[in-house]
Each structure stands twice: as structure tokens, then as C-alpha cells.
């Protein structure tokens, strides 16, 4: 039995359909590629970049974010050190409660240690006034981890004598959800540690 020949016109129609489909697909693909290239180029031209210290290029948006973080971090550290060390018999409970919102358990442990050592009892007993004079914080970043070192100068007024001290503390900063008004900067101090405490005037300053 002979195999019937297929209709040559049907074969030509099928081939023409396949060729036409391939051509249309190629045109659409090329158009999409050109559009994506144009869009990417336009976005690149409208973006600004900064040069890092090692010569690498950083998007200015990222630089701005880091600058904003630095500003908020410095404000957060100043707020914490003011609350934690700027205290007297009338405000220490209120200030310390606010300070504890700005740090994690490391800050709470330090507060409990000071309380057990009688620091706040002496504040009440002798009506001491501990006043912060200056706060200088330095922030560094390594592999996405932010650490800080803060030098706090404060004085303790003992009535007739005022002693001035320099405290150097350190720790890390992590981002958390903002909590107004308890934690307005959305940062949390971790691994907080008082490194050194030095008396600046050996004999004290008389009023």
C-alpha cells in the first residue's frame, strides 16, 4: 500500500506559520532587550555615585543612608549618656528608666550592679548632683556591625567640693523599631561596658 503524499500547500502554510512566529518572537525579544537597556542606562544617568576610600563606587543613596544613620546614632548615644549619667536625687529614677529603653540587657545589668553597689543610695544620702558636661562619641562600622566609643565628662557636686571625671565607655548599636517617645531613633545599645573612669582634678574644685 502506497503512503499518500501530504498536501504541499498545507506543508508550506505550516512552515510559513512557524517562520512568522519565530520572526515575531525575535522582534518582541529584541524590543524588550532594547527597552531594558534604555531603562537601565537612564536610571544610571539619573543616579549619583560617590567614590569610596578604596576606589570603589558607592551609590549616593547608600552614602546618604549611612550619613543619616550616623546622625541618628550620635543623637541616640548623647540621649542615653545624658539620661544615664546626668542624675541627682530628684530625677535619677525617671532618667534611668528612660535610659533603659535605649539599651538592652547589658545596660540593665550595669544599672543593677550600680544599684547593688549603693551608687544611687549615696546619691540620695548625700544629695549629690551628677552633671554631664560633654559627650563625645565615635562610631565605626565593620561588616555591617556598628560599634562606638564614647567619652563622657561629668562632675559630681558634693556641696562644698566638685569633682570632675572622665568616663570612656563602648558598645555596639543595632537597629530596632522606633518607639516614640521611648526610643525615637530606632536604635539599641548592646554590649555596653564602662572601660575606664578617671578623676580629672585630684583635689577637687571648691565652690
Instruction: Find the mean pLDDT for residues 152-167.
Output: 94
Q: Can you read off the three cell numbers belonging to residue 73?
A: 546614632
Residue 55 within a domain: no
φ, ψ for residue 127, nearest 5 deg: 50, 50
- Cα–Cα nearest to 153, from 78, 64, 42, 66: 78
Structural domain boundaries enclosing 101: 60-200
Task: State how far the Cα of 177 lies from the Cα of 51, in Å rounded to an integer.
Answer: 31
Residue 205 within a domain: no
Residue 76 within a domain: yes
Contacts of 207 (CB under 8 A, 6+ apart): 159, 160, 161, 162
pLDDT in the model for residue 26: 84
The domain total for the chain is: 1
Q: Can you read off the three cell numbers belonging to residue 143?
A: 561588616
Q: Specify the CATH number for the domain of residue 74.
A: 3.10.450.230
Residue 5 within a domain: no
pTM as predicted:
0.69
Residue 52 within a domain: no
Bridge partners of 134, per DSSP, are 153
Residue 84 within a domain: yes
**pLDDT digit string, tens, across residues 19-42:** 888 888 888 888 888 887 777 665
Residue 32 within a domain: no
Residue 35 within a domain: no
**pLDDT digit string, tens, across residues 61-96:** 555 667 788 999 999 999 999 999 999 999 999 999
pLDDT in the model for residue 199: 95
Amino acid at each position: 500500500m502506497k503512503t499518500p503524499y501530504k498536501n504541499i500547500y498545507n506543508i508550506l502554510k505550516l512552515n510559513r506559520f512557524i517562520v512568522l512566529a519565530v520572526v515575531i518572537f525575535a522582534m518582541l525579544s529584541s524590543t524588550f532587550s532594547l527597552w531594558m537597556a534604555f531603562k537601565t542606562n537612564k536610571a544610571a544617568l539619573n543616579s549619583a555615585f560617590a567614590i569610596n576610600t578604596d576606589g570603589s563606587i558607592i551609590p549616593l543613596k547608600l552614602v546618604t543612608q549611612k550619613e543619616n544613620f550616623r546622625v541618628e546614632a550620635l543623637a541616640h548615644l548623647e540621649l542615653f549618656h545624658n539620661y544615664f549619667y546626668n542624675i541627682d536625687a530628684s530625677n535619677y529614677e525617671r532618667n534611668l528608666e528612660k535610659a533603659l529603653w535605649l539599651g538592652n540587657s547589658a545596660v540593665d545589668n550595669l544599672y543593677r550592679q550600680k544599684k547593688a553597689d549603693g551608687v544611687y543610695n549615696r546619691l540620695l544620702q548625700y544629695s549629690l548632683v551628677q552633671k554631664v558636661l560633654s559627650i563625645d562619641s565615635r562610631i565605626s562600622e565593620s561588616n555591617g556591625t556598628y560599634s562606638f566609643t564614647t567619652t563622657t565628662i561629668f562632675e559630681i557636686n558634693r556641696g562644698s567640693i566638685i569633682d570632675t571625671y572622665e568616663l570612656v565607655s563602648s558598645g555596639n548599636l543595632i537597629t530596632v523599631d522606633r518607639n516614640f517617645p521611648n526610643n525615637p531613633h530606632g536604635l539599641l545599645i548592646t554590649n555596653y561596658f564602662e572601660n575606664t573612669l578617671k578623676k580629672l582634678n585630684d583635689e577637687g574644685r571648691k565652690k
